[in-house]
A = this chain, B = another copy of it.
Amino acid sequence: MVSPGQSMNQTGQASDLVLNISAVERETGLSKDVLRMWERRYDFPRPERDDNGERQYTPADIAKLRAVKRLMDVGMRPGKLMARSLDELNALADVRSAPRRDQLAPALERDVIALLQSHDATGLQHALGNLLMRQGLQKFVLDTVTPLNRAVGDAWMRGELQVFEEHLYTEQLLAALRMAVSSSPRQTGVPRVLLTTFPGEQHGLGLLMVEALLVPEGVQCISLGPQTPLEDIRRAAVAHKVHILALSFSGAFPVRQATDGLAGLRRLLPPQVTIWAGGEMTRRVRKTLPGVVLIPDLASAVNALRSWRAHWVPQASGY
């Protein structure tokens, strides 16, 4: 009956910006268990306690936890990170993204980041719209959006962009892509592709990017949006008689959870349904998954489609 998110001190005035463990879980994505375990094992974070013995995290804790999380999402291990200061962590992030910066850091990417930093929503919308118009949908996604996403992600990691600035970017991009996809002539052709993500994977941008690549190729896309329970993914694939099931995983998604789920779906679905697994996470997958096509980047999606079409023969069963 609790979860105040922000605790009150004795005077009844909310002590500014002190968060309890639930709030930290929400803000950082780290589970309560992990937060307590880190405190036990690494001595960080070590929050003060309120009158009731409950942990009270400070904004500084949150900032460092976010920095740690970011670096972990690109493969670093918590034990090596926890002892460092926030500045050191940010420096680490810089090093990681530096190689990409000096080699012809394209003007476009710097322009977009500048627009975000000046909070010019209208300008950003125009910029994205113009690019899309000039390049066409597929080229826009492959040559512009992918590096832009990377540039925005790196800038965020380096602390040059706030969370809300990144949100605005994502939202504007979603709007632009959605618009373009919706106004493409609706296809009724082959293959039919079902798009969604596993529960826990919130990011739907990848789905829309794939859709934007496939629709101009005459593919009929059916998107369920993010977070469909596994059993419902199976039901939907069967109900819509799809030829391809395309799943998207962001870099932070646990590999184990993905591979288990994919193996389960492969068993539950008829063999003539092709399964595609795409997104950042797939680059961390070591073992091969029988009956699942890995799509480590967007260009591979187009290739996979070509390959599917080359091998496909119409079946009487409706597939």
CA distance A224 to B121 in the complex (A): 11
Closest chain-B Cβ to A215's Cβ sits at a distance in Å of 12
A240 an interface residue at 8 Å Cβ cutoff? yes
Chain A: residues with Cβ within 8 Å of the partner, total of: 64
CB–CB B27/A171 < 8 A: no
What would 21 A/B residue contacts be, using CB atoms closer than 8 Å? A3-B254, A3-B256, A4-B257, A5-B230, A5-B257, A14-B260, A27-B229, A59-B231, A119-B240, A122-B188, A162-B232, A163-B228, A163-B232, A164-B236, A164-B239, A167-B228, A167-B232, A168-B222, A176-B182, A178-B179, A179-B179
A310 an interface residue at 8 Å Cβ cutoff? no
User: Given the known A-B contacts A179-B178, A257-B5, A260-B6, are A164 and B26 also in contact in the complex, defined by CB atoms under 8 Å?
Assistant: no
CB–CB B164/A199 < 8 A: no
Q: 10 closest pairs, A vs B, by CB?
A: A164-B236, A164-B232, A167-B224, A26-B199, A163-B232, A171-B225, A179-B182, A119-B239, A178-B178, A4-B260
Closest chain-B Cβ to A295's Cβ sits at a distance in Å of 21
A235 an interface residue at 8 Å Cβ cutoff? yes
CA distance A23 to B225 in the complex (A): 19
CA distance A114 to B23 in the complex (A): 41
CB–CB A235/B164 < 8 A: yes
CA distance A267 to B235 in the complex (A): 48
Chain B residues, CB < 8 A from A232: 162-164, 167
A309 an interface residue at 8 Å Cβ cutoff? no
A263 an interface residue at 8 Å Cβ cutoff? yes
Chain B residues, CB < 8 A from A125: 186
Closest chain-B Cβ to A24's Cβ sits at a distance in Å of 10
Chain B residues, CB < 8 A from A26: 199-200
Chain B residues, CB < 8 A from A264: 5-6, 14, 16
CB closest chain-B residue, reference A229? B27
A183 an interface residue at 8 Å Cβ cutoff? yes
CB–CB A260/B175 < 8 A: no
Closest chain-B Cβ to A257's Cβ sits at a distance in Å of 5
- The answer, among B3, B6, B188, B235, for a CB contact under 8 Å with A162, is B235
CB closest chain-B residue, reference A201? B26
CA distance A121 to B211 in the complex (A): 15
CB–CB A260/B164 < 8 A: no
CB–CB A168/B224 < 8 A: yes
Closest chain-B Cβ to A180's Cβ sits at a distance in Å of 10
CA distance A260 to B22 in the complex (A): 13
CB–CB B122/A163 < 8 A: no
A223 an interface residue at 8 Å Cβ cutoff? yes
A159 an interface residue at 8 Å Cβ cutoff? no
Chain B proximity mask over A7-38: 1 for CB below 8 Å, otherwise 0: 01000011011000001001100000000000
Chain B residues, CB < 8 A from A303: none
Chain B residues, CB < 8 A from A182: 175-176, 178-179
CA distance A196 to B16 in the complex (A): 21
